Amino acid sequence: MEQYVIKGGNPLVGEVKIGGAKNAALAILAAAIMTDETVYIDNLPDVRDINVLLQAIEGIGAVVERIDRHTVKINGSMIRDVNIEYEYIKKIRASYYLLGALLGKYKKAEVALPGGCNIGSRPIDQHIKGFRALGADVRIEHGLIITEAEELIGNHIYLDVVTVGATINIMMVAALAKGNTIIENAAKEPHVVDVANFLNSMGANIKGAGTDVIRIKGVEKLHKTEYSIIPDQIEAGTFMFAAAATKGDVTVKNVIPKHLEATTAKLLEIGCEVEEFDDAVRVVSSKPLQHTHVKTLPYPGYPTDMQPQIAVTLGLSQGTSIVTESIFENRFKYVDELARMGGDIKVEGNTAIINGVEKYTGARVSAPDLRAGAALVIAGLAAEGITVVDDIVYIQRGYECFEEKLRGLGAQIEKVNSESEIQKFTLKVG
């Protein structure tokens, strides 16, 4: 099991380049098999979840050609199987996108019930409701979701909760259904727009993505395309908070600043300076950080995937801050780990009450999930002394070359694989 070992205390300074959005890429890769022509996708992040999905797609017969680390060609004309039980697919949440993609194209799909980060109960009732509304039969048997339809016919669908996954999945199926579909109370996240743009570039007719009403006119088939995935707003936001917590000065490049507005607003509130450029943001943290309140919400609200990162930063801010998690119920598991580093956070229900401390002190902690793991790395970078973060396999699901990018900003962090390597690092950094 690999770990990160970190000697904290260095302000992060310099420039970092952000990769493609993992959550957009997962949906786009699944949607790429919806045509029999070859699709070329660029700006793909080279992270574990993406590689698992690519293997699963290959496993059902699609031709996947990795041109380089960030570029792939996919041809779905040879798909021979609509059953995906591939061992690792259960571990990634986005396996549910294969349901929408296969159902839309072949009118049948069988996919293992999705897993993903353990951040609370993650129902898929809205996906199922959408598939049924479009004419599909859906049942769960032996750990598989099995869905099939004689014919897919457009419908008017009102989502009971704002969900990214169900919005995208319904959009994919409706793209190849007969007639018109309207999705109301749709999610507005940048990756919903990115997937709609991707499908439209393949010949779909989707309007309104980015608002809460999406209108889809079904088309007979989709065709080849070349597409570049949007930058990852969560990776960008993670580096922005790493700059804030370490009292650094970091320019985060290759981003769409508009997608980062909720994060930027909070950084300004706590006393950082944020400068926006066309495709970059610079975060300077030179004054004592101040407390604030934050509540996670669907886009354009503050993202749940940025909740642990702001919380560890508020843990070092003056005064009492309140963080309310309104999307997933089990997203405060890092709090106990942070307490070992001197953090003072009390969780009551879906609220964390954070009393800022002057400093964290290095300790051995464990990454409970992807974003919380990244947040503990931020805490380690800001802390006095040595921090070891165990279970970094979670972090590797969503961050490409995390430690290399951090080292480029002056951090002392290494990926290690044994106690002796940890000791070696400790001796080296003194």
The gap from C-alpha 61 to its chain's centroid, in whole angstroms, comes to: 27
> What minimum distance in Å lies between the beta carbon of 69 and ligand UD1?
21
Closest CA relative to residue 77, chosen from 109, 35, 43, 116: 35
The one-letter amino acid code at 301 reads G
Pair 33, 62: CB distance under 8 Å: yes
Residues contacting 294, CB < 8 A, separation 6+? 266, 302, 307, 310, 314, 321, 322, 323, 324
Alpha-carbon distance of 268 to 265, in angstroms, equals 5
What radius of gyration, in Å, describes the C-alpha atoms of the chain? Answer: 22
| Residue closest to ligand UD1, measured at CB | 165
Contact residues toward ligand UD1 (CB under 6 A) are: 23, 26, 93-94, 122-127, 161, 163-166, 187, 304-305, 327-328
> What minimum distance in Å lies between the beta carbon of 2 and ligand UD1?
22
> What minimum distance in Å lies between the beta carbon of 277 and ligand UD1?
26
Nearer to ligand UD1, 48 or 127 (CB): 127
- In this structure, what are the phi and psi dihedrals at residue 331, rounded to the nearest 5 degrees? -110, 20
Nearer to ligand UD1, 5 or 187 (CB): 187
Nearer to ligand UD1, 205 or 330 (CB): 330
Alpha-carbon distance of 341 to 234, in angstroms, equals 24
Using the structure block, give the residue that is written with the tokens 């970078």. Answer: 381
Nearer to ligand UD1, 246 or 304 (CB): 304
Torsion of CA 382, 386, 388, 392, to 10 degrees: 40
Give the bridge partners for 273, in sequence order: 284
> What minimum distance in Å lies between the beta carbon of 365 and ligand UD1?
22
Pair 12, 250: CB distance under 8 Å: yes
Nearer to ligand UD1, 33 or 195 (CB): 195
Give the bridge partners for 215, in sequence order: 182, 207
Nearer to ligand UD1, 327 or 382 (CB): 327
* Residue 215, Cβ density class (10 Å: 0-12 exposed, 13-18 middle, ≥19 buried): middle
Active site residue ranges: 117
> What minimum distance in Å lies between the beta carbon of 8 and ligand UD1?
27
Closest CA relative to residue 152, chosen from 187, 104, 116, 90: 104
Closest CA relative to residue 219, chosen from 183, 176, 283: 176
Give the bridge partners for 17, in sequence order: 253
> What minimum distance in Å lies between the beta carbon of 124 and ligand UD1?
4
Nearer to ligand UD1, 49 or 249 (CB): 49
> Both ends of the chain: CA-CA distance in Å?
24
> What minimum distance in Å lies between the beta carbon of 145 and ligand UD1?
12
